[in-house]
């Protein structure tokens, strides 16, 4: 089985011939910092949409640029992305 991870979680991915019962979830030890592009890929959204989510306060972000830098380096913590996804996940038969 291979280990893969997104959104602050990791899981074991079973080979194609195994059942879904072979996939196990566990918390990741540390949150990863994701670029805007990585965040957009995980959401299936454009970079501009990710920036709008950050600007509106729906998605938390960190600027890791050096003090006095002329350019920001915006990153999204993987656990903040997971929290955003959990918040937006709809329950069966209900609204978000």
The per-residue pLDDT for 58 is 97
* Rama region for 23: left / alpha / beta (φ>0; ψ in -120 to 50; rest): beta
Residue 7: is it exposed, middle or buried by C-beta count within 10 angstroms (0-12/13-18/19+)? buried
What ranges make up the beta strands (E) of 14-78?
25-27, 33-34, 62-63, 74-77
The per-residue pLDDT for 90 is 84
The per-residue pLDDT for 30 is 79
Tokens representing 60 are 């938390």
List, for residues 14-63, the tens digit of each pLDDT value: 455 544 444 445 555 678 999 999 999 999 999 999 999 999 999 999 99
The per-residue pLDDT for 27 is 55
User: What integer is the mean pLDDT of 70-94?
Assistant: 89
């Amino acid at each position: 089985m291979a280990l893969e991870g997104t959104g602050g979680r990791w899981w074991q991915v079973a080979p194609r011939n195994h059942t879904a019962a072979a996939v196990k979830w566990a918390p990741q030890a540390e949150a990863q910092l994701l670029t805007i592009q990585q965040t957009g890929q995980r959401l299936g959204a454009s970079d501009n949409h990710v920036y709008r989510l950050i600007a509106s306060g729906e998605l938390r972000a960190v600027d890791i640029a050096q003090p006095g830098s002329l350019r920001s380096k915006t990153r999204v913590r993987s656990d903040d992305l997971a929290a955003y996804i959990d918040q937006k996940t709809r329950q069966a038969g209900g609204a978000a």
